[in-house]
């Protein structure tokens, strides 16, 4: 995720437990990039939430039309995935 954002300026926007694969060697792979968005391309603001409901950042849940998806939203989604996996 860091490389996608830093090198290609892409946000995943759908970080969820189902979109993270863990290999036997404990390396990880983030899949399902169909909701991703390039940050260096100006586009109209999307007026609907993106992502899997259980892992969407609280800022986007509480104010879905107030701002666009940011890197902090993806990072918060990783946090909710971690909490979900630990509790499960």
Q: What is the pLDDT of residue 49?
A: 54
pTM: 0.82
Q: What is the pLDDT of residue 48?
A: 54
Q: What is the DSSP letter of 53?
A: G
1 within 8 A of 15, measured Cβ to Cβ: yes
Residue 70 φ/ψ, nearest 5 degrees: -125, 170
Please give the average per-residue pLDDT across 44-55, as a whole number. 66
The Cα 10–Cα 2 span in angstroms is 9
In angstroms, the Cα distances linking 81 to 14, 50, 66, 77 are 11, 16, 24, 6
5 within 8 A of 78, measured Cβ to Cβ: no
């Amino acid at each position: 995720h860091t490389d996608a954002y830093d090198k290609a300026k892409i946000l995943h926007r759908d970080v969820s437990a189902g979109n993270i694969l863990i290999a036997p060697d404990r390396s990880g792979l983030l899949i399902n990039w169909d909701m991703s968005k390039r940050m260096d391309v100006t586009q109209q603001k999307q007026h609907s939430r993106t992502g899997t409901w259980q892992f969407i950042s609280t800022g986007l849940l509480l104010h879905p039309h107030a701002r666009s998806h940011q890197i902090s939203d993806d990072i918060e989604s990783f946090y909710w995935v971690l909490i979900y996996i630990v509790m499960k």
